[in-house]
Amino acid sequence: MRGDRIFGLVMIVLALGYLLSATTIRSSFMSDPVGPRTFPYIIGGLIILCSVSMILRPDPDVEWPMGPMLLKLGVALIVLVGYAMTIKPLGFILPTIVVSAILSYQINPRPAPAVLTGFGLGIGLFVLFKFVLGLGLQGLPKGLLG
Amino acid sequence: MDLLNNLAIGFSIALTPYTLMLALIGCFVGTIIGALPGLGPSNGVALLIPISFSMGFDAISALVLLTSVYYGAMYGGRISSILLNIPGDEPAMMTTLDGYPMAKQGKAGEALVVSGVASFVGAFLATIGLMLLAPMLSRVAFQFGPAEYFALYMLAFCTLGGVGSNNQSKSALAACLGLAIAMIGLDMTTSMPRFTFGELHLMDGIDFLVAIVGLFAVAEVFHFIESHGKDSAIGVKLGKISIPWKMLNHTKGAMLRGSGIGFVAGILPGAGASLGSFLAYMAEKTVSKDKATFGTGNPKGVAAPEAGNNAAAGGALIPMLTLGVPGSGTTAVLLALLLTLNITPGPLLFTERPDVVWSLIAALLIANIMLLILNVPMVKVFVRILSVPSWVLLPGVTMIAFVGIFSLTGSNFDMLLMVAFGVLGYICRKLDIPTVPIILGILLGNAMEDNLRRAMVLSDGDWMYLFSSPISIGLWVAAALGFVAPIFLRQFLKKPPLPTLDED
């Protein structure tokens, strides 16, 4: 119930923003009968229609993560965002060790296997990607290599 | 014979040692992907596209490799269904109904062999069907103009939405979300930026691979952490594998019927393998004389859905190759692969790039035989791989997702976007909003708008032009039916509950 309604409301707000942004699309001298704005208008309108239907006739609610589980998922999200930010400046190996160890610990909260998983994946995947598959990855931070 | 000539060309390309090796690797990796719970054909293929693209494969090699993975994953899904009572992927769900009870009765080996052979029969017949039907359909597709294509895209969204979710407005919302995302970037006709908000990264639009890997693979990470990642303990014994000829003979009718039903379900846009295996199981249960034993370990209940889901996998390639409209999540991913390789599927593909089409078909035939060998005598190897603990597997999958996108685009922005799509995918899964229409929307959005605009140029702005030809009217009617009919059919097509895991 609540989940569907909140999602529907969020979608309506986003769709209104989308429609507003669509009004600012400029046409050019190359024009056609439909133009670059019509299709986005239709889509935005349909999104609002579907969202209203979701708000009026919501499905029974599912169980949402609460308390510690929400925290756990939040940590996973932060870790993944951090990984996306650091893989370029720090190279592949170090962030991978840290991130896969944390993710592994979240699934199975025992430190030793988690650390081993981190090192195994960090080094193993690097060897696999770099030397077996030949992808252009950088292993370590640029500064360390001199 | 045109067909045999074409096939000969295909085999002459596919039978090189290099291509054969790629097919073998693809089959092997695919079976593993299919067998591991949580990794299905769609996220498996999605993970591998960016990597194989970064490795610089040519179009045919990449296609052979990844369609082998696709077929392999369809075979592999049954392994965890039978041994763990956890479907390795969604289409394999029906296999748990009789597969797991068989395994508990000490007939795990028989169940694996019967389902392996059924997979082979289904996939092989479907590949032959693909060979015969696809060129015919591509000739029909030549008559399609922009109005017909627009109606066809509507049909794909409507049936996919109708079948894919329990709530029509949710699947329509998902499709619109995908279409809305597809609009981001430069408009093709006027080359004016749309919805870029001055962000340079958005000028080229959102890469559909980023969206696919995010929605499928990264969303799985969140889901997995939440569901505590139950470790897969194989509770049933797997003895020596021998071939139960009598059982195979007993189930051959079920295999053939399942293949036929699955193949038709696969061709329908939007239906796909899950529906194929479901219908095959239900039909077999209806025609069978020993109805009561279904769900308690009847080998026919293993053979029919497995033949059905593999035949549907083959059938789903037909609309994807001839019309450019995928019928399921995995074929949507394969369409993404074709687009990445700069191959535009459609009727022209058969006349302009026959080498691609026919070497693909030849590779599918070869892959099937390899898969039969891998999945019947060597099934124990895969059973061993199933015991990889989830706390190693899942971080590994995540890292592969990141590396794929990173080596493809080399930008932090795209990786962050991928994580955002992961969150979206997690929320959608929670709310029972299907994610496949989102992906289809992103993939087809620009083509759909382009066809609409070209149709309007042809008709000088008259919207009735969209309904002016018999083909397009037929497609619109089918679209409306496909969207509305499941509401009424739903009460007849209740899914039987999964057998519960009892502790003993």
Does B353 map to a domain? yes
Can you spell out the DSSP letters for B10-79? Answer: HHHHHTSHHHHHHHHHHHHHHHHHHHSTT--HHHHHHHHHHHHHHTT--HHHHHHHHHHHHHHHHHHHHH
Burial (CB < 10 A; 0-12, 13-18, 19+), residue B266, is: buried
Which one of A3, A22, A36 has the shortest CB-CB distance to B190?
A: A36
Does A80 map to a domain? yes
Residue B193, beta-bridge partner list: B186
User: Is-contact B165 A59, C-beta < 8 A?
Assistant: no
Q: What is the pLDDT of residue B499?
A: 45
User: Is-contact B153 B448, C-beta < 8 A?
Assistant: yes
Q: What is the pLDDT of residue A30?
A: 63
Does B483 map to a domain? yes
CA A19, CA B346: separation in Å to the nearest integer? 32
Residues in chain A, overall count: 146
Record: contact A136-B419, CB cut-off 8 A? no
Which structural domain, as residue segments, surrounds residue A91? Answer: 67-145
Does A132 map to a domain? yes
Q: Which residues of A are less than 8 Å from B389 in CB distance?
A: 108, 113
Best B21, B54, B190, B414 residue to mutate vs chain A (most A CBs within 10 Å): B190
A83 and A51 share a domain? no
Q: pLDDT exceeding 90 applies to what percent of chain B? A: 10
CA B104, CA A22: separation in Å to the nearest integer? 59
Q: What is the pLDDT of residue B233?
A: 56
B443-455 pLDDT tens trace: 889 889 989 988 9
Which structural domain, as residue segments, surrounds residue B244? Answer: 2-489
CA B359, CA B362: separation in Å to the nearest integer? 5
CA distances from A122 to B51, B390, B402, B424 (A): 17, 17, 13, 27
Record: contact A4-B431, CB cut-off 8 A? yes
A16 and A71 share a domain? no
User: Is-contact A40 B180, C-beta < 8 A?
Assistant: yes
Does B495 map to a domain? no
Does A62 map to a domain? no
A37 and A86 share a domain? no
Residue B436 tokens read as 């496949």
Residue type, B262: G
Q: What is the pLDDT of residue A41?
A: 92
Q: Which residues of B are less than 8 Å from A100 in CB distance?
A: 395-396, 398-399
Q: Which residues of A are less than 8 Å from B406 in CB distance?
A: 87-88, 137
Record: contact B170-A80, CB cut-off 8 A? no
Q: What is the pLDDT of residue B500?
A: 45
- Helix (H, G, I), strand (E, B), or coil: what is residue B193? strand
CB atoms within 10 A of CB B387: 10
A38 and A98 share a domain? no
Q: What is the pLDDT of residue B422?
A: 94
CA B353, CA B350: separation in Å to the nearest integer? 6
Q: One digit per residue, pLDDT tens: chain A, 146 residues?
A: 688 889 999 999 999 999 998 888 877 766 677 788 889 999 999 999 999 999 998 888 777 888 888 888 999 999 999 999 998 888 889 999 999 999 988 888 889 989 999 999 999 888 888 888 877 778 777 665 54
CA A12, CA B23: separation in Å to the nearest integer? 47
Q: How far is B348 from chain A (nearest CA, A)?
A: 26
CA distances from B350 to B66, B347, B360 (A): 20, 6, 12
Tally of domains within chain B:
1
User: Is-contact B32 B385, C-beta < 8 A?
Assistant: yes
Does A19 map to a domain? yes
- Contacts of residue A89, Cβ cutoff 8 Å, sequence gap at least 6: A141, A142
Q: One digit per residue, pLDDT tens: chain B, 504 residues?
A: 678 888 888 888 888 888 889 999 999 999 988 888 767 788 788 888 888 888 888 888 888 898 899 888 888 888 888 887 777 667 777 888 888 888 888 888 888 888 889 989 999 999 999 988 888 888 888 888 889 889 988 888 888 777 666 788 888 999 999 999 999 988 877 777 888 887 777 888 888 889 988 998 888 888 888 876 554 555 666 666 777 788 888 888 889 888 988 898 888 776 667 778 888 888 888 888 877 888 888 888 888 888 988 898 888 888 888 888 887 777 888 888 888 888 888 888 888 888 888 888 888 888 999 998 888 878 888 888 777 788 888 888 888 889 888 888 888 899 999 999 999 999 998 888 888 889 889 988 988 998 998 898 888 888 888 888 888 898 899 888 888 877 777 666 555 444 444 333
Best B196, B393, B431 residue to mutate vs chain A (most A CBs within 10 Å): B431
Nearest to B255 by CA among B315, B296, B312, B308: B308
Q: Which residues of B are less than 8 Å from A121 in CB distance?
A: 392, 395-396, 399
Residue type, B175: A
Q: What is the pLDDT of residue B504?
A: 34
CA distances from B445 to A136, B185, B442, B474 (A): 32, 12, 5, 22
Residue given tokens 């991928």 in the structure block? B418
A72 and A133 share a domain? yes
Q: What is the pLDDT of residue A143?
A: 63
Q: What is the pLDDT of residue B486?
A: 75
> B419 in contact with A at a CB cutoff of 8 Å?
yes
Can you spell out the DSSP letters for B230-293? Answer: ------S--------HHHHHHTHHHHHHHHHHHHHHHHSTTTHHHHHHHHHHHHHHHH-S-GGG
CA B219, CA A23: separation in Å to the nearest integer? 33
Does B496 map to a domain? no
Nearest CA in chain B to A128: B400
Q: What are residue B96's phi and psi, to 5 degrees?
A: -65, -30
Q: Which residues of B are less than 8 Å from A136 in CB distance?
A: 54, 407
User: Is-contact B126 B266, C-beta < 8 A?
Assistant: yes
Does B162 map to a domain? yes
Helices (H) and strands (E) in chain B, counts: 23, 2
Nearest CA in chain A to B218: A80
Can you spell out the DSSP letters for B359-407? Answer: HHHHHHHHHHHHHHHHHTTTHHHHHHHTTS-HHHHHHHHHHHHHHHHHH
Tally of domains within chain A:
2
Q: What is the pLDDT of residue B492?
A: 60
Q: What is the pLDDT of residue B27?
A: 92
Does A40 map to a domain? yes
User: Given CA atoms B217, B218, B221, B224 in this order, what sign does their dihedral have?
Assistant: negative
Best A135, A137, A138 residue to mutate vs chain B (most B CBs within 10 Å): A135
Does A128 map to a domain? yes
> A78 in contact with B at a CB cutoff of 8 Å?
no
